[in-house]
A and B are shown apart, each in its own frame.
Chain A
Amino acid sequence: WSAESMAGISKKKKKSEVIVTSCTVYFYETFFFMKKMSFFFACKYLAKDVTYICPFIGALRGTLTVTNYRLFFKCMDRDQSLALDIPLGVVSRVEKIGGTSSRGEVSYGVVCKDMRNLQFAHRQPDDTLKKSIFEVLMKYAYPISNSLAFFAYDYEQIFPENGWKVFDALAESKRQGLPNESWRISKVNDHYELCDSYPSTLVVPVTIPDEDLRRIAAFRAKGRIPVLSWIHPETQATVVRCSQPMVGVNSKRCKEDEKLLQAIMDANAQSHKLFIFDARPSVNATANKMKGGGYESEDAYQNAELVFLDIHNIHVMRESLRKLKEVVYPNIEESHWLSNLESTHWLEHIKVILAGALRIADKVESGKTSVVVHCSDGWDRTAQLTSLAMLMLDSHYRTIRGFEVLVEKEWVSFGHRFQMRIGHGDKNHTDADRSPVFLQFIDCVWQMIRQFPTAFEFNEYFLITILDHLYSCLFGTFMCNSEQQRLKEVSKTLSLWSYINSQLEEFTNPFYVNYSSHVLFPVVSMRHLELWVGYYIRWNPRMRPQEPVHQRYKELLAKRSELQKRVEELRREVANKAASLTSERAGSPTRSITPVQTFV
């Protein structure tokens, strides 16, 4: 939809404002796009003659459009064909930079959540009553702060598949062989009364009645009691997750909690030990005692061994990502790239998280021991650890649908606070609750994809798409803080998986070999960890995306099937000829088949 057609429409439609200057903001009260446009814009603003100051190319003139879903800049310079298309959910901050220039232009910086910053300049409307397009942007980028509705509620695309149906807690339990003689499915949290950030379906040891669970809920932070996430199909060793015990400075104990952990251990006949992985550094875990939290003492929990995994908190991670952005955007200092990268500690955090998950997976697989994983609240680091360990242990989660289930289960249903960690639609960009916890998880998955390029059904683009829609607010998938909250949204929004599952081809790794029931142990040395250039540095035009391997593979696949077809044809022809020879029709011209000219 070009500026010209817009202008055409504006003449027909009712106009509330008509401004003649070149830097005009046209305001259409409402205007509906045709259904076939698939998007459903409630309103649309357009400013002509805006300068986008591209850090790579330089200043570009063009038009800037803001709708209730996106920001769209189209370059109007003849020799540049550049367009920016950014969902408003990605916008973290919009700020005016400096004063008005001699040309009467004002600069605005748009800080994005996806590792880029944009800078625009345009002429301030002469009429002070007219809104600058950036004021419009600030309004629609923060629907929560401005009491507007997210665009996700208006989004009316129809997909052949309903992504909300991808995950069904009972079906997933059934796949894992649950319930069984040791584990039952409890309805105690059916109405989120036990724990409002937990899913309604919980898998707990059969020997622990619901009353005990309620008592345990009082002992665990936010009521997040130990429940099963994954069970080994052969050894019955389990991955159990929870939040920290509220032991406090007085080392409070809870009989039922101790009984529960004993029951978890007893459910696995292979081992007489239980490992408790506390994701935090021990210093922080100890410090938590002052606030009533803490960790399991080995006196109270017989046969349990406590291991600290030293993963830092959300604030450290947020700061690390901020530094990383400084190092990669817009320009990379060539000769100090590696030390700059190191100083962000980003990959070190990735290493620590992966190392933690690796230890968990190793205990479960090689040690045949059940593990309990927690951090403070059990919704950030715990989710990272359990989901990564499950990805290493269970090849089902390495398929596209399996991975969707993993995210739905370990992240969404177990109450990772997406809304809070991303800050959807909230203008308070300095909010200390924001943190790239889920991004780190996806980064870890990418590191695993790189190390095992044939073990995953999905490709890098799949992960990038998930991250893009983590911020886009187009789908309801990552919009809430808990299952309880999302229950209300499901009917009003679409699932990201609807979109993804309707074009699987794009997200499929052609090299995928399903080696089922094979455990992956990634190498967590810095020598094998790498910055995810395809995500963090994708805006830099100097980094040409590399997909020749996949292309080549597809080419070869096509070539093979073509050749197979020819061989088949030839065979048929030969057979026909043989048949015709036997029926004594020898006069038929011999067709010589020339060797195929293929260049591989």
Chain B
Amino acid sequence: MLSLGTGGGKASKASFVSYVTPEEIKSEKEPPKKNKHPELLPGEVVFCSANPILKFTQDDQSQRGVFGTLLCTNFRVAFVSDEEEDAAQHFKNRLYGEHDIPLMCVDSIYGGYDDKKKLITSGLVKNKSPNKMIIHCKDLRVFQFCLTFTKEEDARKIFQGIVHHCLEPKSLKCVFAFSYSNIPNPERWATTTFDSAEDWNQEMKRTRGWCKIVTGNENFELSQRLPQVFIVPKAVSEEDYAKFQGLGLPIWCWSHHTGCALFKASSVPMLQEDTVAQAYMERMLNDVAQNHLYSVKTEDLSETLPSIQEIQLAYTKFKQFFLIDNTTDFWMSDVKWFSSLENSGWLDIIRQYLQKAVEVVECLEAENTNVLIMEEDGTDLCCVISSLVQLMLDPYFRTLPGFQSLVQKEWVAGGHNFQDRCNHLHHKDKEQCQSPVFLLFLECVWQLLQQHGPGFQFSETYLTVLSDSVHVPVFSTFLFSSACQRVSSIRADSPQTQRGALSCPAVWDWSVQFDRKAQDFFINPLYAEKPVKVVKKSHRPKHQRQLSLPASAFKTPSKKSFFKEETDSLKKMLRLRRISRWMLSPDSPQPSTREFYEAWLRKPLDYHGLLLPCLSGPAIRLWVQRYLRWLPEVQVFGGGAMAVISRLSELLAQVQELKQQLEWKGHRQETNHRGVPAHLQPAVRHSSVFPFASSRNWSFRPVIPTNVFQSLLVPDSLADQDDEYTEVVSLV
């Protein structure tokens, strides 16, 4: 039986049998002998190139392709077609074209030897060079290049060059971002970067938080793990800041309008009898609790959630379902699609993370307790959970600038180790640390977005593009391992040359990648902006609880005894290393969460209030746009959800134009009869993967599955029965 998703390896696949001999192809079309170059970016250098290279057309079952030049630069692997390209691309990336692969975006490279394919792990090609090169990308594109038409020497060079630059370990300074220079543009969506005390101050004011800002880590004197600026409970004393190099320090994330707040911390390595550390942790918990006179719940995420290794493992299995290089494989894997999807465990991990976030939300929203989430480093699972919690609770983070600020706050300033989690530098010893934690977060966001479309200002296209941008080595945002490394890289001043000092843009400067028109795809036309006049009224009664006062639900005989009790129990739990009080197995969500969710469901849905995800089996879905966009077999021509979104966007544009007209007229009061309502643009019909994979030709032939019919095995004897069983039954 063919196992799904092996992607590589054993099975000799039809795709490696060329149905057309090289001679035939040549005679069909003589490749023009010219070496084309792509438009190089400032700072981009070509390492090697080869021509002619045949790039197989993916959406074609016969092994045809396009001739062109294959190049490797310090930024990308580029393929420049000899043929004229379709100019009409709606969603063109300014940095790299549809046939280009940024070096960081390369996931794996396979060498094709006649009918076998072999995973390439190092730049040294021992025996003969392969006649085919297959590149799997992190954005799930698959490229197949035939190397047999060019000179053997060139073929070897380009193959080794690409393998070397994509897979070999490199130093940070070799990343293209350090060579790229760019004039910064004003950002379309102003993003708070959280690199100054002012930004944090604003955020605390916005959420009416009650903590204190620590600015003493400007030069990472306190700790290299901590950000330059951070916020801790008021009660934390200064000598505690760096006691364990910042480990165990509760860092403020966000405050609920009732006054309770969410904190995150890395855990202090604790031995059985380590009284110093225990005392320290207890003090920290007290600080978190007493600050607001609220109870506190702690949760050690690494004990209750899948670890980063498990995330990596699941995603490795999962992504193989989409890195498919021929139609036969596609239809083979279609048979057991649902169970393979489930077996990868990826969707279940998403469910567990969302579930955990809902639990934390419940504590903040319904129980008004402070929550401290912990984990070994405090920069992986904590980032996912804290950002999801904020996204569910705070409508600001569901706007586009708000979301970008959230990523800055929790992930970038929060010190998520992008460098190692993405293994940007291909260090072999860092392979253990590789894990798509940020992607997991984006997927969780996508689940929320697809369930509560009108609550989000950004679109799924935005999320897809953001997930791609992680692997574009131009932006400073996702490049570094910590705040400390980022700051020192930016500050590094090498007086002789400009190189070394970092002047690369943040990913939020979207104009680097897309023109304004393309950026319009980032806006979700379903988003219903909050009507300004309703602001005061729209709060539900429970939102009107007074700030910073114990809620009425706070049923304690006397505060003093309450806290004693609470901390006692916390102590106990700490010693037992079983902090989680609401741990649960994935299949039996604790009744309270379920009740919490159902109570929320019964209320009228307010897209500007709390949004909770439905976690029931059918509600957690596959992110079709991200994962299926390059597969020609699943393109629905003239259909897809985009058809509706386009209609909405069109209408929205008309409404906006009308508004402008009114405004304009209101001001000038001129006689002008040009004010014809925006005429409908001829509805461009797209495929379901629009705006991606746009240059593909519209095919009018349906894709007929090749093996539907053998697949369905009906186990019982029912299949052999006759349709008309009982002629005797008389009816009516």
Contacts and interface: CB of A to CB of B under 8 A. Distances in A.
A33 interface: no
B704 A362 contact: yes
Nearest to A568: B675
A352 B708 contact: yes
Given A333-B617, A542-B616, A575 B671 contact: yes
Contacts of B586: 334-335
Contacts of B669: 574, 577, 590, 592-593
A574 B641 CA distance: 42
Contacts of B628: 527
Contact of A527 (B334, B661, B685): B334
Given A556-B648, A556-B655, A376 B454 contact: no
Interface stretch (A126-134, A151-159, A490-498, A557-565): A557-565
Interface stretch (B39-47, B111-119, B397-405, B695-703): B695-703
B51 to A, nearest CB: 36
A525 B633 contact: yes
A279 B162 CA distance: 51
A338 B587 CA distance: 14
B666 A366 contact: no
A290 to B, nearest CB: 10
B399 to A, nearest CB: 13
A537 B452 CA distance: 19
Interface in A374-393: 375-377, 380
Contacts of A310: 708-709, 712
B714 A600 contact: no
Contact of B644 (A511, A520, A523): A511
A114 to B, nearest CB: 18
B269 interface: no
Given A316-B718, A339-B342, A540 B702 contact: no
Interface stretch (B195-203, B529-537, B541-549): B529-537
A570 B719 contact: no
B616 A361 contact: no
A444 to B, nearest CB: 14
B28 interface: no
A215 interface: no
Interface string B641-657: 10110011001101110
Given A332-B616, A567-B677, A570-B665, A481 B634 contact: no
A541 interface: yes
A240 B719 CA distance: 26
A246 B638 CA distance: 42
Given A451-B640, A548-B453, A567-B677, A559 B338 contact: no
B658 A332 contact: no
Contacts of B525: 552
A11 B720 CA distance: 60
B639 A349 contact: no
A453 interface: yes
B183 to A, nearest CB: 34
Contact of B618 (A281, A366, A511, A543): A543
Interface in B597-629: 597-598, 601, 605, 614-619, 622, 624, 628
A342 interface: yes
A419 B731 CA distance: 8
Nearest to B619: A543
A138 to B, nearest CB: 20
Interface string B712-725: 10101011111111
Given A316-B719, A595-B666, A596-B662, A334 B724 contact: no
A31 B644 CA distance: 50
Contacts of B187: none
A348 B707 CA distance: 12
A335 B348 contact: yes
A455 B342 contact: no
Interface in B36-58: none
Interface string B235-269: 00000000000000000000000000000000000
Contact of B655 (A308, A333, A524, A563): A563
B637 interface: yes
A523 B701 CA distance: 11
B719 A312 contact: yes
A193 interface: no
Contacts of A338: 338-339, 341-342, 347, 617
A32 interface: no
B466 interface: no
Interface in A40-66: none
A419 B730 CA distance: 11
Given A316-B714, A433-B729, A521 B671 contact: no
A452 B711 contact: no
B334 A366 contact: no
Contacts of B597: 542
Contacts of A540: 616
A336 B586 CA distance: 11
A560 B656 CA distance: 9
A334 B712 CA distance: 25
A593 B666 CA distance: 5
Given A351-B708, A593-B666, A600 B656 contact: yes
B663 interface: yes
Given A144-B732, A511-B643, A533 B709 contact: no
Contacts of B605: 544
B304 to A, nearest CB: 15
Interface in B334-351: 334-339, 341-343, 347-348, 351
Contact of A355 (B454, B652, B704): B704
Interface residues of A, number: 107
A311 B624 CA distance: 28
Contacts of A375: 723
B723 to A, nearest CB: 5
Given A452-B643, A556-B652, A339 B338 contact: yes
A520 B639 contact: yes
A359 B614 contact: no
B274 interface: no
Interface in B433-481: 451-454
A598 interface: yes
Contacts of B721: 313, 315, 432
A345 B633 contact: no
Contacts of B614: 542-544
B86 interface: no
B726 interface: yes
B722 A334 contact: no
A542 B714 contact: no
A314 interface: yes
Contacts of B342: 335-339
B638 A420 contact: no
Nearest to A563: B658
Interface string A336-375: 1111111001011101100100110110001000000001
B725 A432 contact: yes
A315 B718 contact: yes
Given A376-B723, A433-B729, A337 B618 contact: yes
Contacts of A595: 659, 662-663, 666-667
Nearest to A288: B722
25 contacts: A287-B720, A315-B719, A315-B721, A319-B718, A334-B587, A345-B714, A352-B708, A375-B723, A420-B731, A433-B725, A452-B643, A454-B639, A523-B633, A526-B334, A528-B634, A542-B601, A548-B526, A553-B651, A560-B651, A567-B658, A567-B661, A571-B675, A592-B666, A594-B666, A595-B662
Interface of B: 330-331, 334-339, 341-343, 347-348, 351, 451-454, 525-526, 528-532, 586-587, 597-598, 601, 605, 614-619, 622, 624, 628, 631, 633-641, 643-644, 647-648, 651-652, 654-656, 658-659, 661-663, 665-667, 669-673, 675, 677, 683, 685, 688, 700-705, 708-709, 711-712, 714, 716, 718-726, 729, 731-732
- 7 smallest beta-carbon distances between A and B, as pairs: A337-B617, A521-B702, A310-B709, A563-B658, A526-B337, A338-B342, A452-B639
